[in-house]
Amino acid sequence: MDRKILLSEKDIPKQWYNLAADLPTPLQPPLGPDGKPITPDMLAPVFPMNIIEQEVSTQRWIDIPEEVLDIMYRWRPAPLRRAIYLERYLGTPAKIYYKDESTSPAGSHKPNTAVPQAWYNKQFGIKRITTETGAGQWGSALAFACQLIGLECKVFMVRISFDQKPFRKFMMNVWGANCVASPSMETNAGRNVLKEFPDTPGSLGIAISEAVEQAVMDKTGKTRYALGSVLNHVMLHQTIIGLEAKKQLAMVGIKKPDIVIGCAGGGSNFAGISFPFVADKIHGENIEIIPVEPAACPTLTKAPFVYDHGDLACMTPLLAMHSLGHSFVPPPFHAGGLRYHGMAPLVSQATVEGLMTPRSYHQLKCYESAMIWAKTEGTICAPETSHAIAAVIDEALKAKEEGKEKNILFCYSGHGLMDLSGYDAYLSGKLTDYQMSDEEIAKNVACFKDMPKPSNKKTGKW
């Protein structure tokens, strides 16, 4: 019986997998303000060119630089574990395997892209990276990466999280980053908001605007911006999760999992665990691939596939994705990492292509699942991860009903040690579920009517 399946350093994947090479129809391009596809050089003030090249690449395999691997050996290869204690508790014939991304120093999968992003910036001669963070997972991962690689790191953290989660800021400080509450007085975007709303709790949209502004306005040209999810190069970097998992499953004789599950906010940990198996599915394998999102922010399950901006201030290009509208403000719930209005274009298009079967869960069921996990497997998961676990439990019980020995694989995207106040709110009975009504969604997506539409030139469908 194999509870932990451990890959040695020498067997770590040496290339990332790019799903853009295998999608049945070509990925819809990002569009500029004029509705025309943007060119790489238009992104140059924001990202270094070596990352832009990855963003637009359709090459199937992209080499992972040896120096990037050397940094990531601190925690990679990550263990694949079998959730035998949960299996026993459920009495299921299913075998549940999970890729444990909580073992990174920052506690989640985010360093898988923070490290290469920081490294490529450094290679390109950049000295300083700006970013935004909501709950703090991404900000601490980038702080960690910049510390190891020798770059300055500036994080704009949404004011309400900055005040409520001081520990995340302390983490970033330990790794040498400068973390300020957003909106701040350091940018035009921040000052303008503060003038009008001095008591604003802030938002990811404002924080993105501040981070981008500080990157593009640096006259030395040595500052760039970094994003922790949504974009193609982020999905690319995260595929190391699924590529390792595939090798580890093979070590215990499993050619392919029957079901692959990940929680999905912007889409990065989900893409990471699933894309290598999406490739197999495109080539004929029978694999069910399930992104799990919160019922209170139902991007893939309820929102249309459209062209929309990535941020509130419409500073980003238009991306073809499932979106609840860039002005959508999700109701408060504790999985901060799943509160994004859109979904990664690669995940969105794969969904439209019929390669994914997304579903959503309410937060109370997710916390209930997290509690089952804590009392069986023993660890305290991130609130985001609990969404994946809720689906895993349902699928394992379904396998029990059907009497089938399915192999289920999921991504344990992070631990919940920095999110214990959410557990406290749940245990104190302070949490409720929130279901978005169809009217609310319709109202939000009305803004799309005058925007360009994604179009499938190959089949004319969608």
Binding site for a second copy (CB under 8 A): 1-4, 6, 9, 73-75, 85, 103, 105, 107, 144, 147-148, 166-167, 170-171, 173-176, 371, 374-375, 377-380, 417-418, 420-421, 423-424, 427
For a second copy, the closer of residues 43 and 179 by Cβ is 179
For a second copy, the closer of residues 79 and 265 by Cβ is 79
Residues sharing a CB contact under 8 Å with residue 359, sequence separation 6 or more, in sequence order: 290, 291, 292, 293, 301, 391
For a second copy, the closer of residues 237 and 309 by Cβ is 237
For a second copy, the closer of residues 82 and 224 by Cβ is 82
Q: How far is the CB of 195 from a second copy (least distance, A)?
A: 30
Q: How far is the CB of 364 from a second copy (least distance, A)?
A: 15
Q: How far is the CB of 2 from a second copy (least distance, A)?
A: 8
Q: How far is the CB of 170 from a second copy (least distance, A)?
A: 4
Q: How far is the CB of 138 from a second copy (least distance, A)?
A: 17
For a second copy, the closer of residues 3 and 14 by Cβ is 3
For a second copy, the closer of residues 340 and 373 by Cβ is 373
Q: How far is the CB of 11 from a second copy (least distance, A)?
A: 12
Neighbours of 191 (CB within 10 A): 14
- Convert the chain into a string of H (helix), E (strand) and C (coil): CCCEECCCHHHCCCEEECHHHCCCCCCCCCECCCCCECCHHHHCCCCCHHHHHHHHCCCCEEECCHHHHHHHCCCCCCCEEECHHHHHHHCCCCEEEEEEHHHCCCCECCHHHHHHHHHHHHHCCCCEEEEEECCCHHHHHHHHHHHHHCCEEEEEEEHHHHHHCHHHHHHHHHCCCEEEEECCCCCHHHHHHHHHCCCCCCCHHHHHHHHHHHHHCCCCCCEEECCCCCCHHHHHHHCHHHHHHHHHHHHCCCCCCCEEEEECCCCHHHHHHHHHHHHHHHCCCCCEEEEEEECCCCHHHHCCEEEEECCCCCCCCEEEEEECCCCCCCCCCCCHHHCCCECCHHHHHHHHCCCCCCEEECHHHHHHHHHHHHHHCCCCECHHHHHHHHHHHHHHHHHHHHCCCCEEEEEECEECCCCHHHHHHHHCCCCCCCCCCHHHHHHHHHHHHHCCCCCCCCCCCC
Q: Does residue 163 come out as left (phi exceeding 0), alpha (psi in the -120 to 50 range) or beta? A: alpha
For a second copy, the closer of residues 3 and 443 by Cβ is 3
For a second copy, the closer of residues 77 and 298 by Cβ is 77
For a second copy, the closer of residues 217 and 420 by Cβ is 420
Residues sharing a CB contact under 8 Å with residue 112, sequence separation 6 or more, in sequence order: 72, 76, 101, 104, 237, 238, 240, 241, 272
For a second copy, the closer of residues 151 and 352 by Cβ is 151
Q: How far is the CB of 147 from a second copy (least distance, A)?
A: 5
Q: How far is the CB of 440 from a second copy (least distance, A)?
A: 32
Q: How far is the CB of 367 from a second copy (least distance, A)?
A: 10
Q: How far is the CB of 362 from a second copy (least distance, A)?
A: 19
Q: How far is the CB of 401 from a second copy (least distance, A)?
A: 27
For a second copy, the closer of residues 307 and 423 by Cβ is 423
